[in-house]
Chains A and B, each alone.
Chain A
Amino acid sequence: GAGVSQSPRYKVTKRGQDVALRCDPISGHVSLYWYRQALGQGPEFLTYFNYEAQQDKSGLPNDRFSAERPEGSISTLTIQRTEQRDSAMYRCASYGRGGQETQYFGPGTRLLVL
């Protein structure tokens, strides 16, 4: 596609349920980043991939959060046993090399945990 897409755009779930958030990056982009944005705050880094390899997961808040990118394209961020404090906008960005020094963001998934 022409841009970064994310699905679902909105997710409402009950506390304790698992959720999976999907990111489809710009075709050919090597790097994929996940960020979390709480209300009234800027995005905060969670983790990133180069191709299928997870390079840095230092931003993941705890072991309920995990991410994968098995074929080096689409990525899934999974939150297990969701808690109310996980409610936020989850943003994905992809980054191409060899030219533009910029990350392109998707529309985000707004997660609400009840």
Chain B
Amino acid sequence: GEDVEQSLFLSVREGDSSVINCTYTDSSSTYLYWYKQEPGAGLQLLTYIFSNMDMKQDQRLTVLLNKKDKHLSLRIADTQTGDSAIYFCAEKNPNFGNEKLTFGTGTRLTIIP
């Protein structure tokens, strides 16, 4: 079955690094994603990683994937107030042609000045 889990809340001081964790259960997932949701806005794709990769870096964002443990993390370096949002991890259905995503419950990131 498909189930994606995240912790609900994370508080980080401005300037520190934030690490948001996610676990998933479908070992056949091909792509895993991180989306950002700000109040009143849509879901913004931050980054994604293909399942044959261990790490992907994009400016302040680093994604780590431990496929053995089915664990995905998102590290945000030098966290800023604009990073306050809810972060969702999602896995893509592996069935060819059906790209539906299964999302976690989201982690609310709060920045402490």
Contacts and interface: CB of A to CB of B under 8 A. Distances in A.
Main secondary structure of the interface of B (DSSP, over half): strand
Contact of B106 (A42, A48, A95): A42
Most buried by A among B42, B97, B104, B105: B42
Interface size class on chain B is 20 to 34
Contacts of B4: 42
Contact of A50 (B33, B44, B92, B97): B97
A2 to B, nearest CB: 13
B103 interface: yes
Interface of B: 4, 31, 33, 35, 41-45, 48, 50, 88, 90, 92, 97-106
Interface of A: 4, 31, 33, 35, 40-45, 48, 50, 55-56, 59, 91, 93, 95, 101-108
